[in-house]
A and B are shown apart, each in its own frame.
Chain A
Amino acid sequence: MKCPVEKLSLNKRLALITLLLGIIALFIGNPNNKNTIKVNAKELALSTIKDQDKISVLQLAEWIIEGRSDFTLVDLRNEKLFNKYSIPSAVNIPVENLLDSDLMRNEKILLFGDDDITSAQAWFILKSANYKNVYILKGGLNEWKDKILYPKLSENATAEEKNNFEKVKQISLHFGGTPQIVSGTTTNVIQNVQTPSAPKIVQPPAGNLKNVPKKKREGC
C-alpha cells in the first residue's frame, strides 16, 4: 500500500528546498552584472604592444582569394556606408550592435572600420566581453583602398618594389581595383582609364567564400 504521508512529505521536502534556494537568492541579489565585466588589463595591454592582433590588408586579400572561411570579417561602419562599398565577404555589424550580434565567443573575428580607431574600440569591447579571437584589420578600409584597390607605384621604383607591385596588381585586379603608376604629377592608370572611383562590389568566384549564415531563429 502506498503511504500517503511519505508521498506528501516528499512534496513538502521539495517545497522546503525550493523555499530555501529562493531565500538565498533574495540575499544574493544580482548574480552577474552585465554592465561590469572583469578585464585582464595586463593581458590586453600586452597583446596591444605585440601587435599580434593585427592583420594586414594584403594578408586579408590573400585569405579571401584563397577562399579561407575560418574567420568572420566584420564591417563596423554604418549600414549606409556598408551598402556603398565593403570588402567582399564582410558582414555589417555597427559597433553599437556588436554585443547583440551572433558572433561566437570562439570564432575568429576580424574587425575593420574606416581606420584603426573604431576597430580598436570594438576590439576592446569584444575582448572584455570574453571573445577569444579578435583581430583588427590594420589601417582599416582606408588602407584597403590605398593598398589593394588603388595601389600606386612610383616610376623610379626599385626592382624589388616593382616585383612586389606585380603581385599586388594581380590582387588588385581580382578585387576590381585600379593599380596605378605614378610619375611626378601624372598618374598612369593600368587597365582602366577613368579616374579612380569606388569599384563595384566584386563577388569572388562562387564557392570560394564562407556563406554568411542567416541569423538563426532561436525562438519558438
Chain B
Amino acid sequence: MSSLSGIFSKENVKEEKVFQPEPYSNPYLVGVGLGLVLLAAFVIMGRGLGASGAASTVVAVTVSKVAPEHASKNNFYKEYLTDGTTNPLKDWLVFEVIGVAVGGFLSGTLAHRIKRTIEKGPNISNRMRLIYAFTGGAIMGFGAKLARGCTSGQALTGGALLNLGSWAFMFAVFAGGYLTAYFFRRQWL
C-alpha cells in the first residue's frame, strides 16, 4: 500500500491510542480562506503576501554581519539592508513569515498533523530525499530572486492583481515543473 493513501484512508488506523491526523480540508474552501487572507493583506496593508523576501533579508543581514564592507558594495544585499537607522529585520515580510510558521504549527496541532518525519515517496532513501530537498531549495531560492518573488509573492499576489509578469511567471513555474517531473518521479511515486 502506498504511503500516500495511508494518510487518508481509515483502514490504516493504528492500534496505538493516538489521535489520527485529520484529512486535509476541502481544497476549494481552503482556497477561499487563503484568498480572504490575501485580500485582507491587500485591504489593510496595500500589499500582498510573500515568503522568499524574508529569507533574503535574513541572508543579507547575515552577510553584512560577517562582511559589512562586502555587503555594502552589493546592490542585491543593499536593497534588503537599511541605512543603519532601523533594524533591517524589523521588516513586514519577516514578521509575516514568523506568523506563517506559527499558523502552520497551530493548524497542524489542531488537526494532529505535527509529526517528526520526512515526506517522500517509497522508492527513495531518507538521505537522498534530504539532499534533494536542499538542492531544490537552493534552485528555488535562486529562481525566486531572479523572478523577484516566489509562489506567494508573484503567483498568488501578482496573480490576484492580474500583474502581467506574475502570470507569465506562474505559467513558467508549471511548465518547469511538468517538463522535469518525469526525471524525478522516483522521489515521489
Do the two chains bind? yes
A interface, CB within 8 angstroms of B: 7, 10-11, 14, 211, 214, 216-220
- Residue of B with least CB distance to A2: B23
Cα–Cα distance between A10 and B82 once the two chains are bound (Å): 48
A217 touches B53 (CB 8 A): yes
Cα–Cα distance between A220 and B93 once the two chains are bound (Å): 8
* Residues in B whose Cβ lies below 8 Å from that of A11: 26, 28
A219 touches B148 (CB 8 A): yes
- Binary contact track B132-158/A, C-beta < 8 Å → 1, others 0: 000000000000100011101110010
- Residue of A with least CB distance to B54: A220
With contact pairs A14-B32, A211-B85, A214-B83 given, residues A220 and B148 touching in the complex (Cβ less than 8 Å): yes
At the interface with chain A, which of B13-21, B44-52, B101-109, B114-122?
B44-52
With contact pairs A10-B26, A11-B26, A211-B85 given, residues A220 and B32 touching in the complex (Cβ less than 8 Å): no
B52 touches A220 (CB 8 A): yes
CB distance from B81 to the nearest CB of A (A): 9
* Residues in A whose Cβ lies below 8 Å from that of B48: 220
* Residues in B whose Cβ lies below 8 Å from that of A10: 26, 28-29
Interface size on B, residues (CB 8 A): 27
Known: A10-B26, A216-B92, A220-B157. 20 other contacts (CB 8 A): A7-B26, A11-B26, A14-B32, A211-B83, A211-B85, A218-B47, A218-B92, A219-B50, A219-B148, A219-B149, A219-B153, A220-B50, A220-B51, A220-B52, A220-B53, A220-B93, A220-B148, A220-B149, A220-B150, A220-B153
**Is B79 close to A, CB under 8 A?**
yes
A217 touches B80 (CB 8 A): yes
CB distance from A103 to the nearest CB of B (A): 13
Cα–Cα distance between A11 and B30 once the two chains are bound (Å): 12
CB distance from B152 to the nearest CB of A (A): 6
B148 touches A214 (CB 8 A): no
The 20 listed contacts between A and B (C-beta, < 8 Å) are A10-B26, A11-B26, A11-B28, A14-B29, A14-B32, A211-B83, A211-B85, A216-B92, A217-B79, A217-B80, A218-B47, A219-B50, A219-B53, A219-B153, A220-B49, A220-B50, A220-B53, A220-B150, A220-B152, A220-B157
